[in-house]
Homo-oligomer: A and B are copies of this chain.
Amino acid sequence: METIKWSSGVVITVDQTMLPSKLVYLRLKTPKEIAKAIKRLSIRGAPLLGAAAALALAQAAYRSKAKTVNYLFRELTRTAAIIKTTRPTAVNLFNSIDTILKEVRDYSGDARSFRTFIIKRCLAMVQKDAEVNAELSRRGTKLISYRDTLLTHCNAGELATVRYGTALGVIMNAHRQGKKIKVINTETRPLLQGARLTTFELRRKKIPTTLITDNMVGYVMQKGMINKVILGADRILTSGHVINKVGTYIIAVLAKKHRIPFYVAAPTSTIDIEGSVRNITIEERNSEEVLEFQGIRIAAKGVSVLNPAFDITPPHLVTRIITEKGIIAPTPKEIRSVLK
């Protein structure tokens, strides 16, 4: 399954808000439609956001009537600005845009060939995400043992990427190798990406899957039911801090207490070279996501809500980070080594 693809200027992607009950494909024709789809989480998952951002730039070029290279580049930066306002935490989105803008900035040629060049470059970035995830899945599999039960959180699967997935990529690969693994996954409130998306992906591959609510992660570890934790990341700092779906920090603290290895699987495009814990923006989402469920109010009137989408896990709780360039410790030295 390809989660996102390009078809003559149209971006075709799964509407992730409709799963698991319906597998609906969206046909997004403009960067603004892509931005809206990102904001409402029809498109989500750090690597997929990077790919969607690249495709928005491709669309800007595809639709452009610019007569000069300069004008087309200005159109591109305007689209970049729109996409950058959608979601603040997953760094892949910013990395993707910045890489493309940097690569095309000094283009010399006419507007028409520039247009082709931009589109080609953007599609190459999308293709690269699939390759990178295939490679990190392959590398990560050696960490998985025969008959392991793995805990995962949120969705770091094919649906969070162009193809293959990150944490679920490793799991799928281990399964294909006949390692007879089982997965326990959290439902991941408030938007239930675990219940809706991860169970969908795992059951398609017939991997034994047990769903728990987020407050049961302590129970399953206490019972000795978990051998390893493996999950994705929305941003990894060079200090080794991992920013991922809210609840990840809890799982990391408990894994440490129960001496369970805690693995983060993420492409190097998830690494933020400049950020530090002090200046990270943790996206605070709409309170209705917590107060309502399928449109039904679940709490009394007059309550406030906190709805941070992410939390920060410090490096001492992270056993290893699985990237396409190798499995590394969460240290500045090793993180920088995979960026070369």
Of residues 111 to 126 in A, which have CB atoms within 8 Å of B's CB atoms? none
Contact check, B215 vs A21: say whether CB atoms are below 8 A apart: no
Which residues from B are CB-within-8-Å of A202? 300, 303
Does A299 lie at the interface of the complex (its beta carbon under 8 Å from any beta carbon of B)? yes
Which residues from B are CB-within-8-Å of A189? 187, 189, 213-215
Known: A195-B299, A222-B312. A216 touches B247 (CB 8 A): yes
- Give the number of copies in the complex: 2
Q: Which of A89-97, A167-175, A288-296, A326-334 touches B?
A: A288-296
Contact of A209 among B196, B217, B304 (CB under 8 A): B304
- Minimum CB–CB distance from A36 to chain B (whole Å) comes to 24
Contact of A298 among B187, B209, B216, B302 (CB under 8 A): B187
Contact check, A215 vs B203: say whether CB atoms are below 8 A apart: no
Of residues 272 to 325 in A, which have CB atoms within 8 Å of B's CB atoms? 290-291, 293-294, 296-308, 311-312
Does A12 lie at the interface of the complex (its beta carbon under 8 Å from any beta carbon of B)? no
Number of contact residues on A: which range applies?
35 or more
Which residues from B are CB-within-8-Å of A20? 297-301
Of residues 213 to 249 in A, which have CB atoms within 8 Å of B's CB atoms? 213-220, 222, 245-247, 249
Which residues from B are CB-within-8-Å of A210? 303-306
Contact check, B184 vs A306: say whether CB atoms are below 8 A apart: yes
- How many angstroms between the C-alpha atoms of A185 and B213 in the bound complex? 16
Please give me the residue from chain B that is nearest to A287 by CB atom: B211
Contact check, A293 vs B291: say whether CB atoms are below 8 A apart: no
Contact check, B219 vs A311: say whether CB atoms are below 8 A apart: yes
What sequence of 0s and 1s flags, for each residue 193-214 of chain A, a beta carbon within 8 Å of any chain B beta carbon?
0011001101110001111111
Known: A20-B300, A298-B192, A300-B199. A246 touches B290 (CB 8 A): no
- Minimum CB–CB distance from A202 to chain B (whole Å) comes to 8
- Minimum CB–CB distance from A237 to chain B (whole Å) comes to 15
Please give me the residue from chain B that is nearest to A301 by CB atom: B203
Contact of A246 among B187, B190, B208, B216 (CB under 8 A): B216
Contact of A249 among B222, B300, B304, B307 (CB under 8 A): B222
- Minimum CB–CB distance from A284 to chain B (whole Å) comes to 11
Which residues from B are CB-within-8-Å of A299? 20, 187, 195-196, 199-200, 211
Pairs across A and B, CB under 8 Å, 23 listed: A20-B299, A184-B306, A187-B290, A187-B298, A189-B215, A190-B213, A196-B299, A200-B300, A210-B306, A211-B303, A211-B305, A213-B214, A215-B215, A215-B247, A215-B250, A216-B247, A217-B250, A218-B249, A218-B253, A219-B246, A220-B306, A222-B312, A294-B296
Chain A interface (Cβ < 8 Å from any Cβ of B): 20-21, 184, 186-190, 192, 195-196, 199-200, 202-204, 208-220, 222, 245-247, 249-250, 253-254, 257, 290-291, 293-294, 296-308, 311-312
Q: What 6 A-B pairs are tightest by C-beta distance, nearest first?
A: A215-B247, A214-B215, A189-B213, A218-B250, A218-B249, A199-B300
